[in-house]
Amino acid sequence: MGYLNDAEHKLVSAAVAAAEEQTAGEIVTVLAERSDGYSDIQLGWAILASTASLAFLALFPDFYLAKVDLLLGGWNHDWHPQAVLSLALALVVVKFVSVWAIQFWQPLKFFLIPPPVKKARVREAAVRKFKVGAERRTHGRTGVLIYLSMREHRAEIVADEEIATKVSADVWGGAMADMLVHIREGRVAEGLAVGIADVGAVLAEHFPRHENDVNELPDRLIEV
């Protein structure tokens, strides 16, 4: 199930078509549910939690042993080395599995992902999509990808090399800001349309449309 309905898809496609009326550039829009599975981060938190529990057992053994004695009926047990090692192993396994499993609840999983990791993964995903869908696929190498990743709440704009030589990456900041104002309020299609219009205005300034210009890339929004 996608984020946008048919009417919203048409709104985005119309925005792309309107923007490209004024420029030789080509705009591709991609809406992603997420940019990565982050299984390595999930695994990392589970390892960290299990390691921390083992460290606490080593630092405060009486606390853990007393808790186990209480669970076993309140009698003091003979904690010989094998019993302590068995407790340590059980503690590590339980902590690892529980922390790993609880991260399948997506709000917690994405809360635990460090912001710099999200930023890097979204950028990497945007560049990958750009290489597949837009890079060097236009005659003048004037393709631009607008990429929105919903889970990470991040957007990226990636431009082909001919555009990058004339337009600083900082210029796209205004388009990003205008787009995210609407998206933060739940108006995803409207936000994309505003961002597309801003990108189109920048492209029109540097790459005006020629009389014999041909639409080389599809105007439709791609949801992945």
- Confidence band for 105, pLDDT divided at 50, 70 and 90: very high
Q: Is residue 1 part of a domain?
A: no
Stronger pLDDT, 64 or 49, i.e. the higher one: 49
Considering the domain architecture, whether residues 144 and 178 belong to the same structural domain is answered as yes
pLDDT winner (highest mean) among 8-12, 44-48, 153-157, 182-186: 44-48
Task: Give dist(CA 141, CA 146) in Å, integer.
Answer: 16
Q: What distance in Å separates the CA atoms of residue 112 and residue 42, rounded to the nearest whole number?
A: 8
DSSP letters for 192-220: HHHHHHHHHHHHHHHSBPPTT----S--S
Is-contact 167 159, C-beta < 8 A? yes
Contact 207/5 with Cβ under 8 angstroms? Answer: no
What distances in angstroms separate CA 141 from CA 102, 138, 152, 214, 215, one per listed residue? 46, 5, 29, 13, 13
Does 92 lie in the same domain as 146? no
Residues 73-100 have a mean pLDDT of: 77
Q: What is the pTM of this model?
A: 0.79
How confident is the model at residue 120, as a pLDDT?
A: 94
Instruction: Write down the pLDDT at residue 167.
Output: 79
CA–CA gap between residue 64 and residue 85 (Å, rounded): 12
| Inter-helix orientation angle 61-71/81-102, to 10° | 90
Query: Do 8 and 69 contact (CB within 8 A), yes or no?
Result: no
Question: What digits encode the pLDDT tens for the residues 174-209?
Answer: 888 888 889 888 899 999 999 999 888 888 888 887
Domain termination residue (choose one: 66, 93, 111): 111
Residue 161 within a domain: yes
Domain count within the chain: 2
8: pLDDT strictly greater than 70: yes
- Please tell me which residue, 165 or 66, carries the higher pLDDT value: 165
Q: Does residue 58 sit within a domain?
A: yes
* Per-residue pLDDT reduced to its tens digit, 213-224: 665 666 688 888
The C-alpha angle with vertex 122 and arms to 215 and 158, in degrees rounded to 5, equals: 30
Tell whether 44 and 154 lie within a shared domain.
Answer: no
What does the pLDDT average to over 40-52? 94
97: containing domain: 39-111
